[in-house]
Amino acid sequence: MSDPLSRLVGELSRLPGIGPKTATRLAHHLLKVSDADAKVLAASILEVKEKLFHCSRCNGITDIDPCAICMDEQRDATRICVVEEPFNIQPIERTREYHGRYHVLMGALSPQRGIGPEQLRISGLLERLDGIDEVILATNPDVEGEATALYLARLLKPRNIEVTRLAFGMPVGGDIEYTDEVTLARSLTGRRAI
């Protein structure tokens, strides 16, 4: 059985983007914080697990169902911006350039990893198309994101809906999550039909 520090490093290493070195630094930092701060962190992790879930309409993360974005009557109900993951919504919201609704696919097509159309939340998107004039495909500009955008464009075009893609101010191979607001705003403004 490993010691508590090794177990903590191991658990932190399992988080996305956290390698062994970063996990070790985080673990040592946590040793330095007060007991009260450690308890607040632990409680916030438990609270997120207990109180947050996916919106039944858009699959975004929320504590109410439907989520605040889906319920907001001020938003443009004729547009849906399709993203891969729930955390892709906030960078787009920070641009203040988009005022429509969202749909989260919960991933991207990746045959190498066994992710086909059936594993994504595409059927929920297709069910939401009544009254929609434009679907903006905001998948990541990498191989999987491009394949997903092309697949969705082929599904949506016969339905006489304008299908657009974010303009490529974003770096190819990058993630929306790490794109700055100015670049993302230009990408939204310069989106193009596909």
The verdict on residue 64 lying in a domain is no
Helices 20-32 and 4-13 meet at what angle, rounded to 10? Answer: 130
Determine the Cα–Cα distance for residues 39 and 140; give it in Å rounded to an integer.
36
Of 93, 99, 82, 94, the C-alpha closest to 166 is: 82
pLDDT at site 170: 65
Residues 81 and 155 reside in one and the same domain? yes
Residues 185 and 91 reside in one and the same domain? yes
Determine the Cα–Cα distance for residues 28 and 5; give it in Å rounded to an integer.
8
Torsion angles phi and psi, residue 163, rounded to 5: -115, 120
Residues 47 and 83 reside in one and the same domain? no
* Structural domain span for residue 23: 4-51
pLDDT at site 98: 96
Q: Which CATH number goes with the domain that contains 141?
A: 3.40.1360.10
**Would you write out the chain's pLDDT as a tens digit for each of its 194 residues?**
469 999 999 999 999 999 999 999 999 999 999 999 999 999 999 999 999 999 999 999 999 999 999 999 999 999 999 999 999 999 999 999 999 999 999 999 998 999 999 999 999 999 999 999 999 999 998 889 989 999 999 999 999 999 999 876 666 677 888 887 767 876 787 777 77
Question: For residue 116, what are the CA distances in angstroms to 9, 39, 70, 82, 154?
Answer: 33, 41, 27, 17, 15
Torsion angles phi and psi, residue 114, rounded to 5: 75, 25
Determine the Cα–Cα distance for residues 171 and 57; give it in Å rounded to an integer.
30
The verdict on residue 153 lying in a domain is yes
Residues 103 and 185 reside in one and the same domain? yes
pLDDT at site 110: 94
Residues 31 and 95 reside in one and the same domain? no
The verdict on residue 176 lying in a domain is yes
pLDDT at site 166: 84
Residues 90 and 180 reside in one and the same domain? yes
